[in-house]
Chain A
Amino acid sequence: MRGVYKGHAGQSLSVDVLVRPALDDDGAELLQETAAAPPPRPEEEQQQQQQQ
């Protein structure tokens, strides 16, 4: 994601990703999650996120 905005405000960014199997072959939903929110990182007026 990237973008621009009007205003002289700084910004912090957090990203939360969750991936889980939706269904197994029997149609049952399984939950195996990864979720994390990296600490906020100062950004400039352009906003863009890094891949880890």
Chain B
Amino acid sequence: MAGLNRFKLAHATMFSYDGPVSESYNELRLRPRHDETQSCLSFRITTNPFSKPVAHLDYFGNWVHQFHILPEHRELRVESEAVVLVHPPAAGPAGGVSLKEIDRLSDSLLDEYFDWLSPTPYCPLLPILSELAWDGELRSDGSARGFAESVAALIHDRFTYKPGATHVHSSLQDCLETRSGVCQDFSHLLLAVLRLRGLPARYVSGYLVPRGASERVIGGQASHAWVQVFIPELGWIGLDPTVG
């Protein structure tokens, strides 16, 4: 798809209730970010029943829309449409620092990237993850980037993509026990291993675009999730443990 850098996104969410509900208060994060990698040229959101969403930027720079519907209703449909211009990736420097250098920089990385190194309920730094981290280190060339790519490849190889194996509230432990999951599970797993090893890492939500009309994309049926890891001297680098 050389030359195609503008995309239309349509994301419809439909809730059907088996009885009347009311006083529905919601928030969503659907507006694409506007940064050095892409420009959000337009964005529109509508709800049925009608509401007037209000928007603000959260702590991490993501757009949040909040809306409420007070009258009784049995269905709620939320539709968003966006046009996004994707900028060609800049040719970044090759290489990057070694894992030993990451160890040496650990205090300064923690100072600057505390939010991206800390455990969260979805991303606990479980001791059992050190095994995956060690395997990733053995397979890497000793560089931080090589390590991150090795762990992403290990997750891709060792875990099975299986829609329905987990749900939105599944834990990392669930994924580890069943060795299966979907993109959000594998992303949380990779995040946890990277953070455990001292590399700042963050969760990315977006969309996959097939290269052709006949191509089926794993995870392409809904919004997709992957990971960005921060490598000193290189910046934030994307890794997708689901697609590989």
A and B contact pairs by CB, cutoff 8 A, 30 listed: A1-B27, A1-B28, A3-B24, A3-B25, A4-B24, A4-B25, A6-B22, A6-B23, A7-B72, A9-B17, A9-B74, A10-B19, A11-B15, A15-B12, A15-B223, A17-B223, A18-B9, A19-B7, A19-B9, A19-B209, A23-B4, A24-B3, A24-B4, A33-B213, A34-B221, A51-B222, A51-B223, A51-B225, A52-B220, A52-B221
Considering the complex, give the chain A residue whose CB is closest to the CB of B205.
Answer: A51
Secondary structure type dominating chain A contacts: strand
**Category for how many chain B residues contact A:** 35 or more
Contact B4 A30, beta carbon cutoff 8 Å: yes
**Chain B nearest CB, measured from A9 CB (Å):** 3
State which of B27, B210, B222, B225 has its C-beta within 8 Å of the C-beta of A15.
B222
Given known A-B contacts A19-B9, A40-B16, A49-B168, A2 and B27 have beta carbons under 8 A apart: yes
**Chain B nearest CB, measured from A38 CB (Å):** 6
Q: Which residues of A contact B184 (CB under 8 A)?
A: 50-52
Interface residues of A (CB under 8 A from B): 1-25, 30, 32-34, 36, 38, 40-41, 43, 47-52
